Every structure is written in structure tokens, then in C-alpha cells.
Amino acid sequence: MELTVVNISGKKTSKKVALKDDIFGIEPNDHAIYLDCKQHLANRRQGTHKTKEKAEVARTTKKAIRQKGTGGARRGSMKSPLVKGGGRVFGPRPRDYSFKLNKKVKQLARKSALTYKAKEEGITILEDFSFETPKTKNYADLLKNLNLGDKKTILILAESNKNVYLSARNLGKTLVTTASELTTYDVLNASNVLMTEGSVKEIEKLLN
């Protein structure tokens, strides 16, 4: 697949970039995508949830009612989960939700996600660029020139660029990342993928 390179003004240039079929034109594997996205979201969970169980609740152990003659069960502690204000039965405890996923499965998932975007014509190739100073208006104008002002986008750079990152940080529907930090979830979560010429080469190098 060949795509025409556009500049930050939204105008087509004379350059073209060929996207390799073994990355942008494979048979997508939906299960690999599911596993990679599941791992990504699981790794983001803090897992700090906690409730107090019976042994941790500070309440009296004095007999609240007489033990016999009530017709009900004996109850010797206000810590009981059966009493209002008592401990919780099998409540959540802090835990780590992360799990291992093989490197080749993650690579397959990213290739599958990029293939879906290529089929949807949701990939735009930009000339390598930078901003002299970090300014939100610069990045907003870039999106406006590409007719993507109201859409969720991800910009993939070959290497980190502080001015570009800071220019996009305050815009709610944008994400700026590098080829080495690209995730399957970020690709699928955006309606349009913007890639610089340099990032295409980096992605092909990383996924081959």
C-alpha cells in the first residue's frame, strides 16, 4: 500500500511512502488484539481496593442480645457481617492485576491493529516536523488543516519531541507517542492514526 505524504499545512507533497504488507496488510488476529488490550488495561489498574473484614472492624464483643430464648441464632459480636456496621464477607483486597503476554503475541496484535486502520483508510503520513516552541494552537491548527479537529487522533513520532508533546497535551482527543511506546489499545482507541515518515521506518524495524 502506498500513501501520499502530507505536510502540517494539510497539503499533499510529491513524496510517497510504501507500507509493508507484512505489517499493514496481514490477516488480522482478533484474539491477539483482545489479549493485548486486556493486558494493557489490566496493567493500568491500581488494585488498591480494600474493605474491612470481621477481624479488622473495631466494634464491641459484648453480647448484644441474650443468647437463649429469643428464637433466633446466638450472636456474640457486633463485628459480625450480619450486623449493620460489621465487617464485610470476602471483601476486596489489594492485588496486582498484571499478567504475562508473549512478545510475539503483542507484535501480532499491533500488526493486526495497524492492518485494520490501513483497511479503514485511517492512516495519514506526515512529513517529519517539529515546533519551535510548545504551543497548543500549533497542534490545533495542524489537526484543523487535516480536517481532524473533532476526531480522536494519535500521532506517532520516530523519537520523543518535547515541544510537540507539550503542544498536544491540553487537547482532549489527542495522544502523542513514539514508535517504541506504541500499543494496540492506543491504535484502536483512535479514529485516525497520524504517522511521521520516520516513525513508519521505526515501526517496521520494531515489528519485523
Give the strand pairing for 153-157 and 192-196. parallel
CA distance 84 to 72: 17
Burial class (CB in 10 A: 0-12, 13-18, 19+), 62: exposed
Q: What is the pTM of this model?
A: 0.84
Q: Domain 2-46+99-207 belongs to what topology?
A: Ribosomal Protein L4; Chain: A; (3.40.1370)
Q: What is the pLDDT of residue 193?
A: 95
Over residues 48-59, the pLDDT tens digits come to: 999 999 999 999
Report yes or no: 136 and 170 within 8 Å, Cβ to Cβ.
yes
Q: What is the pLDDT of residue 97?
A: 96
CA distance 121 to 188: 13
What are the φ/ψ torsions at residue 180 (nearest 5 degrees)?
A: -75, -20
- Ranges of residues in the chain with a pLDDT under 50 are none
Q: What is the pLDDT of residue 77?
A: 87
- CATH 3.40.1370.10 maps onto the chain at 2-46+99-207
